[in-house]
Amino acid sequence: MESDSLKRSNWRFLVTAVVGGALVTVYAVAMPFIAPALRKVCLPFVPATSRQVENVVKMLRHRKGPLVDLGSGDGRIVIAAAKEGFPAVGYELNPWLVWYSRYRAWREGVHGSAKFYISDLWKMPQLEKKLELELEDGARVIACRFPFPCWTPDHTTGEGIDTVWAYDMGSCRRRERQA
């Protein structure tokens, strides 16, 4: 009788441990995807379409200098730019997407020229000023779906969700001085 009670007790402990571990795992995996939806400005992950990636690559032709992708998601644009020979950097809020992007860059052989960083750009005050101060004149900032509110794009291509805005740092600085 005591043996059966001990077995049931061990079984309950095991079930509790497995269920608890599963819940912690689900929370750890789901939270980076759910948390952005709980912000004042909801920015869910929406992968770049193949058309959008093509539009970005088209904007990079006949250029040199690094590329910075803000809200790089799963890294499609950064990886495509790196494949075209550009040193490219992606900033993304979701750590799972950053790790996945790093893996994809490694798998596709561009991990040397494609870098990804976890960064909450909404907590970064005056992002436009920061980029103007830190990026070289040859740098081009590409924005997909969310243009910079204070900059005038040098080039725009695509329509609707495939719209891409390109900001050349040299032009942004010249316009700033003229204003």
pLDDT of 32 reads 64
143's tokens: 């924005």
- What Cα–Cα distance (Å) separates residue 44 from each residue in 36, 93, 114, 142, 163? 6, 10, 23, 19, 17
Tens of pLDDT along the chain (179 residues) come to 556 665 666 777 777 878 888 888 777 776 666 665 555 555 667 788 899 999 989 888 888 888 888 888 899 999 999 999 999 999 988 888 999 999 999 999 999 999 999 987 766 667 888 888 888 888 888 788 778 888 889 989 888 888 888 888 888 888 878 86
Q: Which amino acid is at 67?
A: L
β-pair type (114-118, 88-92): parallel
pTM of the model: 0.67
Which residues are CB-neighbours of 75 under 8 A, at least 6 positions away?
90, 97, 100, 101, 102, 104, 105, 114, 116
Rounded to 5 degrees, φ, ψ at 103 are: -60, -45
pLDDT of 147 reads 85
